[in-house]
Structure 1
């Protein structure tokens, strides 16, 4: 259901069923954001964040934890290891979308929310989609930021 909601709003999603699969998906093009549960088969969300933040190529990928673990101690630990936001279940899909948009916006402080359209090249800094003459381009966040900057 979560992927469906995100895809309906224009986000591309990649789903990992367990810790090892999630780690194996951390390759270029890197995701613009990781939405992560604390409890993963084969590992924990906390260890995943630690792995993400240790690696130079992935340390700046924003992370949002979405988990049933709602104790203050858990929230603090998640944020201290590097989560950019922490949402507890149950959650409102509207609130989740607003929080994800805010985290992505903060991760791209120089970007504007306006779509940039130059001679058929279209960059959407909010959804991080790039098209050339209406054909989607596979572009990672660093490349998108360079194009937006130029």
Structure 2
């Protein structure tokens, strides 16, 4: 960063007064603005987390909402960036846990329409509809 110091017109007993008063009565000319560099340490980098993408499918094939390990996932971009939002190597964000860049979609998806009927339990079918026992 930088620090700046500017001269102000100060009258004894009254504090800061209008510059015009000093310009008329001062014996010395006004000092120029002084600038100095300070705190040259770079600001720490942070993780930039992008929005989640849509899942690659719109319904799940596994009942119960469990995540099929080979099932669909949704993804997002994660970048290590400096204060100016410039991409940096991931090691610049060291010490900060990296947010996850993917997660299963299964728990967020409805069961596929064609599978809703297939998951009716056999015990739930009344005997008069059981073709195996030929009961009608």
What TM bracket, shorter-length normalisation? Answer: under 0.3
Report the structure, 1 or 2, having the larger helix content.
1
Q: TM-score, normalised by structure 2?
A: 0.19
Greater relative contact order structure (CA < 8 Å, 6+ sep): 2
Larger Rg: 2
Q: TM-score, normalised by structure 1?
A: 0.17
